[in-house]
Structure 1
């Protein structure tokens, strides 16, 4: 059973998502929140597997709520799936940087939403890696001028192979494509990625893509 916390400031959207989840086999809505502060409280109380997180909310927004939830909850932390109205919402980049696992357009159909929740719960990439790459690329220049609470991670802790895998992930290659490019197995690719995420204290593949851009390992447009 995949346990889901629904966060959105619009009651009708929340109610629709909760109803959809509760009606679908294998899913359970464990709570609903109308703002980021309530989401932080309920995440700690219910410990969901996945959080459907709206971004634009009064008070604490979804970016800050995502950051706090992932920082405060002990492993295994919930996976955050961002809900957005537009596929190039400028706030989505900030949510990915905060540790969200992916994003979903609000007008997605029921089947796609349930498939997305299941994929995120299983630890898979929500969309094809190229989609996340395009999103990050679209806002990398703008984000580079924004003040950061802390500098990006130091890639010096990574091995040469881990850096290679991180670069290829950021360039939009899937695990099978990376395995073929480097002449290694898919299992080895996953091992390198997991070690990279552990060393850099990352929560998702999407966040790894963000770090690759922010550290200059990959340059937008190249």
Structure 2
């Protein structure tokens, strides 16, 4: 990858668990500001790839940001934020406390920044509420605001809407797209739902048995699938 490239680049990234290859020599470039979705069925290697990018899984190959390798950089020094499926909110903290957690860890507590983030995710005035009193969709918004609090250079979302019912997922997908666009944060989203990926992401990568078999918009992938397996998956 050229040193002039701005964003994330993977070169032959491979993750193995014993004799099993979960991610098989994936090479990919995600430019700064893009929202990219990793799409594939269960067991295709999506979450393993995301965790390797975050530094939570040992891997072979290379991971670079702005042309500089970070594959040996520990997770807490990569400047990335990872949001899990369940949000993992702290029940003993109110909404503002949850959102401000990352700022406190970084030694930069700011009530103004917390208020800005709650406004961004559509939760203005929710700061003093208990997270246990929120709906599932509201809790996911709090988790997203917390992930954005420290202004990560890359946001990693692992099935962020999967715990919600279908109707709520469909509604929040468009809202999540708007939030990410407004925040201007480079994002990689993992999902098994192609319609969700099409709404949220600028571009989609199809993973099959650990291999990145095709990238493009959802319309392009459906019009020109790389093989029959991709075509069947996108129906």
TM category, shorter = 0.3 to 0.5
In terms of fraction of residues, the more strand-rich structure is: 2
Which structure ranks higher in relative contact order (CA pairs < 8 Å, sequence separation ≥ 6)?
Answer: 2
**TM-score in terms of structure 1 length:** 0.34
In terms of fraction of residues, the more helix-rich structure is: 1
